[in-house]
Chain A
Amino acid sequence: MLTIDSLVKTYDAERARRRARTGQAGRVHAVDGVSFEVTEGELFTLLGPSGCGKTTTLRAVAGLERPDSGRISLAGRVLFDGAAKVNVPANRRDLGMVFQSYAIWPHLTVFKNVSFPLDVLPRGRRPRRHQIEERVGKVLELTELGAYAQRPATKLSGGQQQRLALARALVTQPVLMLLDEPLSNLDAKLRESMRFELKRLQRELGLTAIYVTHDQSEALVMSSRIAVMNEGRIVQVGKPREVYTNPSTRFVAEFVGTSNFVRATVVSTQGGQVTVDTVEGRLSIHGALSAPPAGSEVLVSIRPECVDISVDKPDAAANQWAGVVANRAFMGDSVDHVVSVGKLEIRTRANPTVSIPQGTGVHLSIDPAKIMIVPLD
């Protein structure tokens, strides 16, 4: 439904100099040839560290930022085309957007905030007074703000302001919703519940949305698909599970979840069966998607939760390491152990009943199906 084609946005040198002491001179690419497609009913997430260009991309879709070149079209309508010099202004794009700061207008009531998008429609398309009231009422009910309609918007709590911003974006029933880190200003508990709330609303209303976040767990929970961005480019696009279990680069593996990285040399490849050599011995890998030729250098990525830790030597034969617990961290819902295995340090994650004191000798075993091969970059 939304198609974005090789979008480029640069900032000139003057502003770049002010922006950061990154040492880069000349024009800085905020977005460097980004292309993707969002299909109807999808919650598409742009995920990446700050400064990766995800917000700039979103703002380009919104029309708040003018890209240098590229093409944006939504449901057959061209919103921006650098070559054809088309640039539909933000207020004519008929999109809904939730800002990171919510951007609740402090001089208006809750009701007036939500009715604003309807109030400013051109006269021909503007609904009648009672219709506006009805539609605003409906959206406020949907976001559980019905009781607060006549309050000044500033008298709402953080979570309520967040829902108000959402209600305002929903009231015109836009074909596409843009969400710019909408949950980052909430406390941890509220954020968790709002994740499911947002997801529920999106499913129930069949919304198509672009969601920008730097929080990988948020992205994994909510998205239909994730585009991981770095330095103005999209590094990988895929379903959350794909991105998590099969990161295409070290950056993705590192950014989405935590991972142990071990350098290795491929010894043999047989279908999905790969055997590699590491500093601390041989590892076998099952079901690898890419099959690099024997002798090539690769990076092996092992998620902490895929490493089993035990004091007693387990029976399983494959992929065993012996080591000493170097550090232990209680995380609440899990316990992380950092284990020294020869020259390597391997982080493991276990359920909180497992807790092994520092200095204890332990055995690690890794399921061959859960080891990922990442190209060395």
Chain B
Amino acid sequence: MAATNVPAHTGRAGPVAAVAGRLRRLGTGQGLLVTGAVVIVGYLAVVPLVYLLHDTFTGNSGFSLHAFARAYGGTSQSGTMMLNSLRFAFGSAALALVVGTCLAYVQVRTDAPFKGLFFAASLVPLIIPAILYAAAWIFLGDPTIGLVNTLFFKPLFGVSPVNVFSIWGMTWVQGLHLAPVAFLLMAAAFRAMDPSLEESAAMSGAARRTILRRITVPLLRPALISAALLMFVQSLESFEVPGLLGLQNGIYVFTSRIYFVLRQFPIDYGSAGAYAVGLLAIAAVGVLLSGWLSRNARNFQTVTGKAFRPRPVELGRARPWVGAVVIGYFVLTVVLPVAVLVYASLLKFYQAPSVNALRTLSLDNYRKVLHTPLAFTALKNSLILGLGSATVVMLITSVVSWLVVRTRVPGRRLIDTLAFLPIVIPGLVLGLALSFVYLRVSLPIYGTLLILLISYCTRYLPYGMRYASAAMGQMSRELEESAQVCGASWFQTFRRVLVPLASGGILAGWVYILVVSFRELSSTILLYSPGKEVLSVLIWEQFENGQFTVLAALGVCMVAILVTLVFIAYRLGARVGLQAGSTS
């Protein structure tokens, strides 16, 4: 997520002939390894898309657009659906961007208090999956039982104006969930910007507002636009929030529409595919535009010579107020949702806190979870899939990124592009595409954990690439060459020099993929089969069955596991970061 904006790795020139010569010996271990990696990447990235397009554009007799006609034509209300999608995606992106940018400014450029909270809040998308975040906001913003209504608006104003099951509610939840990502992107942009650019405008006689309008915003524009597009695409692809909050009142967006179509009988794979292709097209445009803009943004870099010392703006009298806003934000976006999940998990049925309610608090839901045999299966499956996909992806990407960053093999750009391709495929679309593939192909893959593993590996391939190629790129080429001079074979060099030196970045990528695939829902929801549930699917099923308090208990367990994973990741990261610093 946040890693999406890491600039692409830098290629390095090298002894062409030597590499080409080495690659000619395709029979060697190295050749096999490289060929294998390329084949796997191509298979993962291309095959599902081909099947998706083929099945969508094929009718009973060859090429046809019938699927599109069914999906978008006549009584399908696709106009409303697309309008909803765009409103939801634009709104969430705008909210996330405004909140994230303000927070980033306060964090990087001012002497605001409680800066530690920003860090904690920025972890929200990692440790609270969107499905739980949406569930928590149901507890808070339901029109009849939501705490915001029952405890705040009802007693004070006598009305219950907040309704989370609306386009506004969806936008609010999605926007807040994405805001930390926008925050991280914009904080990086602020940090990269030399404050003397603004100071020299002040020295030129420009007032604060003029500086903001003529210097700060234009300089940040590339970062802002690219972050906005990223937020837009992520909201468009989000299934959890529209699924939990939108279906109730029949507010459909692309993703929930695809899910809805696939849950009806008879299943119309064609029109689901048509929606998927539409979504894919919009997402692809967004991602390509963002990549193109961030490439152009490099023209904005100036020679700044020595490192600058950012001097924070002194807030003066406004400092306590800004501090209060920071705390308010933290309470609203982190404390309240987590607290309400914990609270709900202790209840028999959900109700506002009262003496009676507090008397009935018990651990029954946790007992229920423990006694569900499915819970352990799901936990086991989630862990297997998380560990499996993290390992497979990092294995593939460390080889592929070496190929792309360190060699001049013809076609390496194509491999690079292929490895990044899945980033434009929304999870739900990938799930659909994979079910097209493995319903047709007569391999015993459909209905096993393997299909989920394939799906996760495909989805997180681009993230793995970013981590691995960043790690490979920052290593001096001489380290590798000196190993060769010492007589090490390619494989020995790779295993004993390259991988250990890049281990920091590779490990970081591994943990990141472990965390995100541990809670993947949007592709899983179309691919899992009974007995092959994962934790997030289990949570989804509780939602569908209306078992909200059990859902909360499951959610609390999941958050606890994720917090542990993220904590371990940061402990590793701190040590690994030091290592990376000393080797680069």
Contact = CB atoms under 8 A, between A and B. Distances in A.
Contact of B194 (A92, A96, A103): A103
A96 B303 contact: no
Given A103-B194, A172-B205, A64 B300 contact: no
Contact of A117 (B205, B207, B221, B299): B205
Interface in B254-308: 299-306, 308
B306 to A, nearest CB: 6
Contacts of B210: 120
A104 B302 contact: yes
Interface residues of A, number: 40
Contact of B305 (A93, A97, A100, A153): A100
Contacts of A105: 197, 200-201, 215, 219
B306 A168 contact: no
B481 interface: no
A101 B203 contact: no
Contact of B200 (A89, A92, A103): A103
A62 B196 CA distance: 12
Contacts of B36: none
Nearest to A121: B205
Interface string B311-325: 100100000000000
Interface in B517-540: none
A116 interface: yes
Contacts of A150: none
B300 A97 contact: no
Interface in A1-18: 15
Contacts of A89: 202, 207
Chain A interface, DSSP helix/strand/loop, else mixed? loop
B442 interface: no
Given A106-B302, A107-B218, A107-B219, A101 B308 contact: yes
Contacts, number: 105
A172 B206 CA distance: 13
B199 interface: yes
Contacts of B194: 101, 103
Contacts of A65: 311
Given A64-B199, A101-B194, A154 B205 contact: no
B61 interface: no
| Residue among A97, A153, A178 with the highest chain B CB neighbour number at 10 A | A97
B204 interface: yes
A91 interface: yes
A367 interface: no
B262 to A, nearest CB: 47
Nearest to A96: B203
Contact of A101 (B206, B207, B300, B305): B305
B196 A120 contact: no
| Residue among A66, A107, A161 with the highest chain B CB neighbour number at 10 A | A107
Contacts of B311: 64-65
Nearest to A117: B204
Interface string A115-127: 0110011000000
B204 A161 contact: no
A290 interface: no
B205 A103 contact: no
Nearest to B206: A120
B201 A116 contact: yes
A184 interface: yes
Interface string A241-276: 000000000000000000000000000000000000
A91 B205 contact: yes
Contacts of A172: 204-205
A154 B308 CA distance: 18
A338 interface: no
Contact of B301 (A62, A63, A99, A106): A106
A161 B304 CA distance: 10
Contacts of B302: 101-102, 104, 106, 153-154, 161
Contact of B206 (A62, A95, A116, A184): A116
Contacts of B301: 106, 154
A120 B306 contact: no
B429 to A, nearest CB: 37
A90 interface: yes
Contacts of B314: 66
A151 to B, nearest CB: 12
Given A103-B194, A185-B306, A97 B203 contact: yes
Interface in A148-173: 152-154, 158, 161, 165, 168-169, 172
Nearest to A152: B299
Nearest to A120: B206
B218 A101 contact: no
A94 B205 CA distance: 7
Nearest to A92: B205
Contacts of A168: 200, 204
B196 A99 contact: yes
A91 B206 contact: yes
Given A100-B305, A104-B302, A90 B202 contact: yes
Given A99-B196, A101-B196, A103-B194, A91 B203 contact: yes
| Residue among A90, A95, A100, A121 with the highest chain B CB neighbour number at 10 A | A90
Contacts of B111: 15
B205 A97 contact: no
Nearest to A156: B303
Given A66-B314, A106-B219, A95 B203 contact: yes
Nearest to B111: A15
Contacts of B304: 101-102
Contact of B204 (A91, A106, A185): A91
Interface in B173-232: 194, 196-197, 199-208, 210, 214-215, 218-219, 221
Query: Considering the complex of A and B, which 4 residue pairs feature the smallest CB-CB distances, nearest first?
Result: A185-B305, A117-B204, A103-B200, A103-B196
23 contacts: A62-B203, A89-B207, A90-B202, A91-B204, A94-B205, A99-B196, A99-B199, A102-B303, A103-B194, A106-B302, A107-B300, A116-B201, A116-B204, A117-B205, A117-B206, A120-B201, A120-B206, A152-B299, A154-B300, A154-B302, A184-B305, A185-B305, A185-B306
Given A91-B202, A101-B196, A103-B200, 12 more contacts: A63-B202, A65-B311, A89-B207, A90-B199, A96-B203, A100-B196, A101-B305, A103-B199, A107-B219, A154-B301, A161-B303, A184-B305
Interface of A: 15, 62-66, 89-97, 99-107, 116-117, 120-121, 152-154, 158, 161, 165, 168-169, 172, 178, 184-185
